[in-house]
Amino acid sequence: MRERRFKGQQETIIKSHHNKPQPEQSQKSFEAEKPSSAKSKDEIRLNKFIANAGVCSRREADKLIAEGLITVNGEIVTTVGTMVKKTDKVVYEGNVLNTEKLVYVLLNKPKNFVTTLSDPHATHTVMDLVKHACTERIYPVGRLDKMTTGILLLTNDGDLAKQLTHPSHEHRKIYHAFLDKEITQEHLDSIAAGFELEDGFIKSDKISLVEGSAKEVGIEIHSGKNRIVRRIFAHLGYEVLKLDRVYFSGLTKKDVPRGKWRFLTPKEVTFLKAGIMK
């Protein structure tokens, strides 16, 4: 009886020893998941990739995938939940989608900041003012010279930037110019009619005195030529003491203090892309 009991105990002990590797198997299973977890850091769901490109929401992206309207590296993908790498070529309606989330930052630029990504000779650039806005690499749409203040848009949306800066789209820019002396009506009429500068003909779209002072002028123009407003007034013998851009393609400085920024609203982005805001 004792022998049997011992054997039974021995069998129990043996069984328990056979069971001991289970934690080790669990550990192996955990270790086996690690590469998958590491791999996922380099991948995102296809619907998120599409949404980050500004095409539509994730839910709507799932519909596009299911309908076979998305290709990845030349292959049609119809499986919702597909994972892709940021380096993959994702195409919708013939357009390669940007892997970065599209970002739109509206800055009220102060003076003494250069409108450039980097300049070894400049003490400050506009990028210093928006360096904490996002992790994406954004860049200025158009230029404001160092001493000019006001509205400046920064984005990583190359298509929109091209649309906003091309003269053929005639996106409006309005400046408030402070002159060194009172401007004559003759010269206001001359700017409205237009004249030749060293780089071609130029005229304002609209121009008028700012109420209360003949030294302050509001000028609307769609040309993107370098320092064009200052050169217009210099051509007629005026020095621009201060220049502020108060309007750019439907965007204003409202609720954006000097030196501060805000993100554009989805509605503003939609209107800009559609050409509704000009």
Q: Domain containing 237: what range?
A: 104-274
Q: 142 with 180, same domain?
A: yes
| Predicted TM-score of the model (pTM) | 0.67
Specify the pLDDT at position 30: 32
Q: 81 with 219, same domain?
A: no
Give me the number of domains the chain comprises: 3
Q: 109 with 23, same domain?
A: no
Q: 155 with 188, same domain?
A: yes
Is 74's pLDDT higher than 60? yes
Residue with the bigger pLDDT between 6 and 126: it is 126
Q: What separation, in Å, do the N-terminal and C-terminal C-alpha atoms of the chain show?
A: 99
With residue 165 as reference, give the H or E element that holds it: helix 158-165
Q: Which residue in 151, 155, 195 sits closest to 173, CA to CA?
A: 151
Q: 92 with 203, same domain?
A: no
Q: Which residues contact 147 (CB under 8 A, 6 or more apart)?
A: 111, 112, 242, 243
pLDDT in tens, 82-117: 999 988 999 998 888 876 788 999 999 999 999 987
Specify the pLDDT at position 48: 86
Q: List active site positions.
A: 145
Q: 180 with 79, same domain?
A: no
pLDDT band at 163 (very low <50, low <70, confident <90, very high): confident
Token output for 2: 């004792």
Q: 24 with 60, same domain?
A: no
Q: What percent of the chain has pLDDT over 70?
A: 84
Q: 144 with 233, same domain?
A: yes
Specify the pLDDT at position 2: 45
Q: 84 with 157, same domain?
A: no
